[in-house]
Structure 1
Amino acid sequence: MKKNDRSLLTTLFIFIVSSGFAQQNVQFSQYIFNELAVNPAYAGYKEEWTAHLLYRSQWVSITGAPKTATFSFDGLTDSYRKNTGLGLQITNDKLGAQSNLSAYTNYSYRLKLDALDTRRLCLGLGVGVSQYALNGDELSYVQENDSRIQAGTVNTITPDLRFGVYYYSPTFFAGASVMDLFADYISTKLQDGTKTYLNIKKTRHYYFSAGGLITLSSTIILKPSFLIKEDFKGPTNLDLNTFFAFNEKVWIGASWRTGIKLWSKDNLISNLQMADAYSVMAQFYVNDRFRIGYAYDRTLSELSNYENGSHEVSVSLSLPSPKLGERILSPRYF
C-alpha cells in the first residue's frame, strides 16, 4: 500500500471516529484477568496488592492507529476483615494526533455473604481526571496555513466518576458498572485562546459481565465469560470469551467480539456489519505471584485489508501481605 494512500486512510478513519455520535472507551482483550479496567468494584478482589501493566498496539501497519498503555495497582486496606479494597489506575491512550491521559482512584466496599467467606458483594466508586490533548503538528494539511489547525498541542482536563457492583463466589462472578458519569455535562472541546478545536466526544458507558468455572478434570478448568458494552448511541457490543486452564499455570483462550441488537436504535444504518473481531490469548503463571499474557486480535471488517492485527502484552505481580507472610491465598481465577 502506498504511503500517501495509507495516510489518507488514517485521516479518514480519525475523522469518522471524531465526528461520530459516540466513541467506545478503550477496550482490552485481556480485561478478564483484571476487571478493574471496566469496574471499580473489582478493587481488592485478589486480596493481595497486585500490580498490572498492559500495552496494546491496535491495527498494526496503519499510521496513527490506537496505542494504549495502562498501569494499575490494587489490594486490600484491611487484610483481616477484607472489607475495603483500594486501587489506582493510570492509562495513556493515543489515536493519531489525539491523546488521553487519565488517572483514577478506585474504592470498593466488600460485603461478606457467608460464614466461610467464599462469596462477596462489592460496591465500587472510581474518582479521576482525564487530560485530552490534540497535537496539530501531527496532522496533515490539505491547505497550507489552515487556521483551523493549531500549531503545537492544546489540551483540557476534566473530572470523571465511575460506579460499579461486583459479585463473586468460587465458581461464578457477575459485575455491572457505569463509566464516564459526567460525560453528558462536561465538554472535552479544546481551547487555544479564542479558537475551539473538536476532540473525541465522550459518552457515558455501561458494562455488564459474567462468567464461571467448570472443572473438566483434575488438571483442566474451563472458564467461559462474556462482556456487554453499551452507550445507547453506537452499536451494542458483546465479547464472548472461553479459556482453558492447564494445571492452574497455562491459560489458552479465544474471544469473539460482535455487535448485537438488544433494542432499536434509529441513528444506526440498517445494514451495519455486526461481526467485529476475534482474539486468541495465552496466559502463563511463572509462579503463584507472577503472570505474563499475550493476545492477538484480528478485525473482521474491510479494515482487515489494511492492517496486520492488534497485539496486546500484559504482566502482573502480586505482593505478599505483611500479615500473611509468604502464604499463598486460594487461587483467584476471575
Structure 2
Amino acid sequence: MNQLNKIAILIGLLLLPIFKSWAQEEIRFSNFSYNRLFYNPAYAGSSRFMEAVLAYRNQWVDIEGSPETTVLSIQAPVNYTNFGLGAVVYNNKFGIQKDNAVFLNYAYHLKVSFEGTLSMGIQAGFINKQINWTELTTYDPNFPSLDDPAFPNQDISTWVPNFGIGFYYYTPKYYLGFSAPRLLSNDQPASEGFSDNMKFKFKNTVCYLGAGATLPINPEFEFKPSALVISSYSGTTTAMANFDMLHESGISFGLGYRTDDSVAGNIGYQLSQKLSFSYSYEKYFGKYQSKGFTNHEIILNYNLSLKKSKITSPRYF
C-alpha cells in the first residue's frame, strides 16, 4: 500500500463520525489546522521555526451575547534539543460568562522513522471563570422596587487549575494527533464559595482527534485536506473537515463541512515569508435557519526562523 493510499484511509477513518454527531462543545475554530497548539500541546516545537498565532472568532453574528473568542499562542523548538515549548492565552465570552486562560506547553519529540516524528506533550495553567450577573437586567412584578432575588446581585470570579496531554505524529506530508488539552471540567463559578469550584471533575473531558495532509497536484497546486473529531466523556461527538487548495503564489481557498449542518468558505494569503492571513465565513443551513447563525473567523500566523537559514515551508507539519 503506497503512502497516498494510507493518507486517504486515515482521513476517511477520521470522517466516519461525521455521520453521527451532536451539538458543539468547547471552543472551536473553522480553520483548526492553522491553530493547532490550541488543540494539542504536543504540537509545540514540531515546526522548524517559532510560530505565533492570533485567532479571532465571532459566532452567531447579530445575536446579542453570542460567543466571541480570541486566542494568542506561540510555540517554538529549542535548538539542539528534542523538545519544544509553547504558551496559549485565550479569552472566551458567551453572554454574561467569560473565561480568561493561560497555559504553558512542553513537548518531547522522538524520531520514529526516516521522515516521521512522534511528539508527546503536556500543558498546565489556570482559567479565570467569570459570571457577570450585574450585566443582567432583571424584573419580577412581585418585587417592583428590587431586582429579581433569584439572581445574585454581584459578579462572581474564580481561578481554577487545569492541565492536558497530547500526542502528535508528523512528517513533511501529513500529521495525526490525539489530545485532551483541558482534562478537568471546571464548572462555572458558584456563589457558595471558591472551594466548590476546585473539585477535579473528568465527566465532561473533551478529546480531539485530528489529521491533515499535503498532497501535490501539480507544480502549482497542493491539496490540503484536514479533519478534526471532537468527542466528550459524556458521549457527544462532533466533527469538522476542510478541503483546501494552496497555490504556489501563497493564495489558498477551500470549503469546510461541520456536523451541525454548517458549511464554511476558507480563503488565505501568504502576505510575506513570515506572515500569513486566513479568513473563514461559516453559515448554518440546518433546521433552525437564521441570519444570526453566521460565523466570522480571522487568523494571523507569524513565523520566525530561529536559525540563519530561511523558512522554506511555512506549512510544514
Please state which band the TM-score falls in when normalised by the shorter chain: 0.7 to 0.9
- 2:187, 2:241 → 1: CA distance? 33
Q: Answer yes or no: is 1:288 the counterpart of 2:289.
A: no
Seen in structure 2, the aligned counterparts of structure 1 residues 248 and 45 have a Cα distance that, compared at 3 Å, is farther
Match of 1:6 in 2: none
Q: 2:41–2:181: 8 Å Cα contact kept in structure 1?
A: no
Match of 1:311 in 2: 296
User: CA shift at 1:155, angstroms?
Assistant: 1.1
Match of 1:216 in 2: 217
Seen in structure 2, the aligned counterparts of structure 1 residues 23 and 244 have a Cα distance that, compared at 3 Å, is closer
Match of 1:93 in 2: 92
Give the SS at the match of 2:165. strand
Gaps of 5+ in 2: 1-21, 141-145
Q: 1:135–1:151: 8 Å Cα contact kept in structure 2?
A: no
User: CA shift at 1:157, angstroms?
Assistant: 1.2
Q: 1:36–1:43: 8 Å Cα contact kept in structure 2?
A: yes
Gaps of 5+ in 1: 1-20, 259-274
Alignment of 1:36-51 (within 5 A): 36-51=37-52
Please tell me the residue identity of whatever aligns with 2:180.
Answer: V
User: CA shift at 1:234, angstroms?
Assistant: 5.6
Match of 2:125 in 1: 128
Seen in structure 2, the aligned counterparts of structure 1 residues 56 and 64 have a Cα distance that, compared at 3 Å, is same
Seen in structure 2, the aligned counterparts of structure 1 residues 330 and 216 have a Cα distance that, compared at 3 Å, is same
Seen in structure 2, the aligned counterparts of structure 1 residues 63 and 24 have a Cα distance that, compared at 3 Å, is same
Match of 2:242 in 1: 241
- 1:306, 1:140 → 2: CA distance? 26
User: CA shift at 1:189, angstroms?
Assistant: 3.3
Percent of paired sites with the same residue: 29
- 2:155, 2:26 → 1: CA distance? 22
When normalised by structure 2's length, the TM-score is 0.83
Give the SS at the match of 1:87. strand
RMSD of the TM alignment (CA)?
2.4
User: CA shift at 1:325, angstroms?
Assistant: 1.8
Match among 297, 317, 321 for residue 282 of structure 2:
297
User: CA shift at 1:300, angstroms?
Assistant: 2.4
Match of 2:30 in 1: 29
Please tell me the residue identity of whatever aligns with 1:43.
Answer: A
Q: 2:119–2:167: 8 Å Cα contact kept in structure 1?
A: yes
User: CA shift at 1:308, angstroms?
Assistant: 5.3
Match of 1:328 in 2: 311
Seen in structure 2, the aligned counterparts of structure 1 residues 98 and 303 have a Cα distance that, compared at 3 Å, is farther
Seen in structure 2, the aligned counterparts of structure 1 residues 74 and 288 have a Cα distance that, compared at 3 Å, is same
- 2:49, 2:316 → 1: CA distance? 14
Match of 1:4 in 2: none
For residues 242-280 of structure 1, give each alpha carbon's deviation from its aligned partner in whole angstroms, at most 9, with x where no partner exists: 01000061111111011xxxxxxxxxxxxxxxx431111
Match of 1:254 in 2: 255
Match of 2:136 in 1: 139
Match of 2:170 in 1: 168
Seen in structure 2, the aligned counterparts of structure 1 residues 91 and 240 have a Cα distance that, compared at 3 Å, is same
Seen in structure 2, the aligned counterparts of structure 1 residues 23 and 308 have a Cα distance that, compared at 3 Å, is closer
Give the SS at the match of 1:24. coil
Match of 1:276 in 2: 261
Please tell me the residue identity of whatever aligns with 1:253.
Answer: G
When normalised by structure 1's length, the TM-score is 0.79
User: CA shift at 1:220, angstroms?
Assistant: 0.4
